[in-house]
Amino acid sequence: MLMQKNQAFEHAEMTNETIYAGRSLSALFLASAMEPVSAGRAICWEGDEANHLFQVVEGVVRLYRIVGEGRRVITAFCFAGDLIGASLQSDFLFTAEAVTECRIRRVSRKSFHDEVARSDALHTAYISLLCQETAAAHEQMVLLSKKNAEERLCSFIAKLASRRNPQARQSLLRVPMNRQDIADHLGLTIETVSRTLTKLASRNVVAPEGRHDLRIVNLAVLTQLSGDADDFFEKSCHRVSLH
């Protein structure tokens, strides 16, 4: 049981808060049965009553909304350890679908909240998680609002890389989602994602190895190109000029 729990958080490079929040809240799922979800299948649907929360134990999940005729927005990807539905009040505001083969656990919303209310530590962890979700959503708003295709893709890759999944010996990065998923997450088309990736490859920033792996050749440049490097030049300049 404990092994299981730790396994879900094997990846390094998380903040202390994240680990704390994830760790303690994930204890609430340990009593639940593990459910396998095969790639492509839905875990919950937008509009349905949010009677459960889920934890991704293994695999990758996409959360998305459909807007108008066929336009899909992937608001987030969830990885091992992540909770699905923590920030919901009554209904699911997104559909959750397995990107890869997954294993998940579920708990009822009621029991989740009962447990959280019972423990200060869990409570803190829960608040912390909600705040992180908001922060992530804001980050994504910035990306969608002001970044060009290259910056978007570099941000995405850099973030994936910083998650440092187990498979990543040296600098080989697993990219479980397909091009369409990436496009729908970054607000681009599949063609633009492909072209941008080719361009990055030709500039020796990354080197695609098959559809689902990327060798990060130059992380420094990648970060630079992502547009949220701490080039304290620009940032401090602006900070000052605003006062």
Partner DNA sequence: CGACCGATTGATATGGATCAAAATTAGTGG
Partner DNA sequence: CCACTAATTTTGATCCATATCAATCGGTCG
For residue 90, report the phi and psi dihedrals to the nearest 5 degrees: -130, -55
Q: Measure the CA–CA gap between 119 and 72, rounded to whole angstroms.
A: 38
Binding letters toward its own copies, positions 38-67, x by CB under 8 A: ----x--xxx-----------------xxx
Q: Does 191 bind DNA (CB under 7 A)?
A: yes
Q: Residue 103: which of its own copies, DNA, none does it interact with, CB under 5 to 8 A by kind? A: none
3-class state of residue 160 by DSSP: helix
Q: 140 forms bridges with which residues in the sheet?
A: none
Cβ proximity of 1 and 72 under 8 Å:
no
Residue 145's binding partner, choosing from its own copies, DNA, none, with beta-carbon cut-off 5 to 8 A by kind? its own copies
Contacting its own copies within 21-40 (CB under 8 A): none
Closest distance of CB 193 from DNA, Å: 6
Long-range contacts of 14-17 (CB under 8 A, 24+ apart): 17/128, 17/132
- Tell me how far apart the terminal alpha carbons of the chain are, to the nearest angstrom: 54
CA 201 and chain centroid, separation? 24
- Return the residue of 2, 33, 69, 170 that touches its own copies, per CB under 8 A: 69
Q: Which two tokens stand for residue 4?
A: 């299981």
Site string for its own copies, 120-159 (x = CB under 8 A): x--x--xxx-xxxxxx-xx-xxx-xxxx------------
The single residue listed with the structure tokens 């998380």 is 14
Query: Taking contact as CB under 7 A, which single stretch among the options 20-28, 51-59, 118-126, 195-203 is the one that binds DNA?
Result: 195-203
**Site for DNA contains 180 (CB under 7 A):** yes
| Residue 164 CB coordination number (10 Å) | 14
Binding site for its own copies (CB under 8 A): 17, 42, 45-47, 65-71, 73, 75, 87-89, 93-95, 117, 120, 123, 126-128, 130-135, 137-138, 140-142, 144-147, 187, 227-228, 234-235, 238-239, 242-243
